[in-house]
Amino acid sequence: MAKQPVSPFTTQVRPRALVIGGSLGGLFAGNLLRHIGWDVDIFERSAHDLDSRGGGIVLQPDVVEVFRRTGINLDEMALGVPSVHRTVFQPDGSIRSKQYAPQMQTSWSLIYTTLRSAFGDDHYHQDKALTHVDQDQDTGKVTAHFADGTCETGDLLIGADGGNSAVRQQFWPQQIPTYAGYLAWRGLVHENDMPSIARDALHGDFGFANNTGSHILGYLVPGDNNDVRPGHRLYNWVWYRVENTEQLAKIMTDRNGRQRGYSMPEGMLADQWVDYVYKDARELLPPGFRAIVEATPQPFAQAIRDLASDQMVNGRVVILGDAAAIPRPHTAASTSKAASNALDLADALSNSPDDIDSALRQWEPRQIMLGKALRRQGTDTGNYLLFHRPPETRIG
């Protein structure tokens, strides 16, 4: 059981935070601010529980630190599935390199459900689409207005509403994500459904393979209901492929004719693009990866985009996570960056309990630097893997 937070604030009225976005970034911030004595309400646009069916994430220390600080009992939960080696395959299936490099892979679903349970239902509000935000410079209060006609007022508003953030669009409309020139095909296969050739090559390790305009990786993650028992897990693969903007728009038109923009959910990819993925797999991938892709009945897709905001604070409004910076997945840092933003925010507010504005000024510079550093790292890695461009030479 999580310990009850002890407020460091000298005022009798506890400060209140409004968190826009109920995914991982919002839950990181909501749980941490509650732990330091804030009243927190989270407002999620979707009317339904969020779900990513176990999409894989490399477990990073910042995520574990959020769990620890908020009183989640790490001794009683399985955080993910370990891998043993990092194995790189040639296109013909031969092994280019194999290194002993144990690490832990988890899933979006496991992190989400753990944080969601810790936060509880009473102050987590669904079907709350933000329309705009007002700030009162005299009182320091900030008010969120929602599409259902309601509004909520607090001392701080946190935009944790993802890459298409409505908060960012209102306050920093010039900060727009840009398409990186390639997408990630993704898939999940139940461990026991892995074809034998895929299981022999890939099972238990973190696998990679490169080809022209192609980079694939894969590993085991928790299965349905976060089950980490052998035989109940999922194999998660991510395949980066170069696609121009015109082709991307076609891919992102789902089987019902709806344009999905930059993310195609599982089960909605049009049949012609499922066949397209299988065809490319036969031409470009080594046998193990080719078999696992062809064993995936419902591939899904995500366009790779770049964003690193120059500003993250406007009065009592802040943005964090993907709302502020979108690192390319090669950095394995999207989730950990959101956790880091939230950890630092909680520290800053706790260290300046009676001066929110000072805390935000102290918090912002490091977050901007982190976002820009990850953008450079991700761009260099992605451009090398997909376009064979060497890293840019930078001065200073």
What local confidence, expressed as pLDDT, does residue 271 receive?
96
Among the listed residues 219, 212, 285, the one whose alpha carbon sits nearest the alpha carbon of residue 242: 212
Which of 74-78, 81-85, 318-322, 323-327 shows the lowest per-residue confidence on average (mean pLDDT)? 74-78
- The yes-or-no verdict on residue 54 having pLDDT over 90 is no
- The yes-or-no verdict on residue 311 having pLDDT over 90 is yes
- The yes-or-no verdict on residue 10 having pLDDT over 50 is no
Helix (H, G, I), strand (E, B) or coil at 359: helix
CB 111 within 8 A of CB 63: yes
Where does the pLDDT of residue 297 fall: very low under 50, low under 70, confident under 90, or very high at 90 and above? very high
Q: What is the pLDDT of residues 133-142, one digit of tens each?
A: 999 999 999 9
Cα 253 to Cα 264: distance, rounded to the nearest angstrom: 8
Cα 306–Cα 311–Cα 313 angle in degrees, nearest 5:
130
Q: Which residues contact 144 (CB under 8 A, 6 or more apart)?
A: 18, 20, 43, 130, 133, 151, 152, 153, 154, 157
Where does the pLDDT of residue 45 fall: very low under 50, low under 70, confident under 90, or very high at 90 and above? very high
Helices 24-35 and 108-119: angle between axes, nearest 10 degrees: 40
Among the listed residues 298, 375, 385, the one whose alpha carbon sits nearest the alpha carbon of residue 331: 375
Q: What is the pLDDT of residues 213-264, one digit of tens each?
A: 999 999 999 999 899 999 999 999 999 999 999 999 999 999 999 999 999 9
Q: What is the pLDDT of residues 343-352, one digit of tens each?
A: 999 999 999 9
What local confidence, expressed as pLDDT, does residue 74 receive?
86
181-204 burial, b if ≥16 CB within 10 A, otherwise e?
Answer: bbbbbbbbbebeebbebbbebbbe
> What mean pLDDT do residues 331-341 have?
95
What local confidence, expressed as pLDDT, does residue 11 receive?
47
pTM attached to this predicted model: 0.92
Place of tokens 């810790």: 118
Q: Which residues contact 370 (CB under 8 A, 6 or more apart)?
A: 325, 337, 340, 341
Where does the pLDDT of residue 52 fall: very low under 50, low under 70, confident under 90, or very high at 90 and above? low
Among the listed residues 81, 83, 85, the one whose alpha carbon sits nearest the alpha carbon of residue 100: 85
Where does the pLDDT of residue 7 fall: very low under 50, low under 70, confident under 90, or very high at 90 and above? very low
Where does the pLDDT of residue 108 fall: very low under 50, low under 70, confident under 90, or very high at 90 and above? very high
> What mean pLDDT do residues 268-280 have?
97
- The yes-or-no verdict on residue 179 having pLDDT over 60 is yes
What local confidence, expressed as pLDDT, does residue 393 receive?
58
What local confidence, expressed as pLDDT, does residue 55 receive?
80
The runs of H, that is alpha helices, within the chain are 24-35, 61-69, 108-119, 166-171, 196-202, 245-251, 271-284, 287-294, 334-351, 356-387
Domains in the chain (CATH in brackets) are 16-48+126-175+309-387 (3.50.50.60), 81-106+178-304 (3.30.9.60)
Helix (H, G, I), strand (E, B) or coil at 128: coil
What local confidence, expressed as pLDDT, does residue 388 receive?
83
- The yes-or-no verdict on residue 8 having pLDDT over 70 is no
- The yes-or-no verdict on residue 375 having pLDDT over 60 is yes
